[in-house]
Amino acid sequence: MDRTRPPEHPGAILQRQYLEPLLMSVERLSEVTHIPQTRLEQFVQGTISLDVWMAYEFAIYFETTVQLWLNLQIRYDNFYKGNEHGYQFYG
């Protein structure tokens, strides 16, 4: 893991590593996960954080783990929130 490069927002990872390869739209993901489309759009744009419900839905649909998604969000939050206060945490 490259610790010098800032982590990507989990929404960007969702878009690049899961939606794009499957040629899946946010609208379709909303239909299959029952997560509101506007919430998913905000998440992919990086304006909101992942919550536990979203992590569970992504884990079920993409056959990953809840922990994967939570770790992505924790790493992102630790990097950016920690830097706001002069801390440097890496997950």
pLDDT at 80: 86
pLDDT at 83: 63
CB 23 within 8 A of CB 91: no
pLDDT at 91: 47
* pLDDT tens digits in sequence order for the chain, 91 residues long: 556 689 999 999 999 999 999 999 999 999 999 999 999 999 999 999 999 999 999 999 999 999 999 999 999 998 887 666 555 555 4
CB 44 within 8 A of CB 15: yes
pLDDT at 13: 98
Q: By 3-state DSSP, what share of the chain in percent is helix, strand and coil, each rounded to 5?
A: 65, 0, 35
pLDDT at 21: 98
pLDDT at 3: 61
- Which residues neighbour 25 within 8 Å (Cβ) at sequence distance 6 or greater? 19
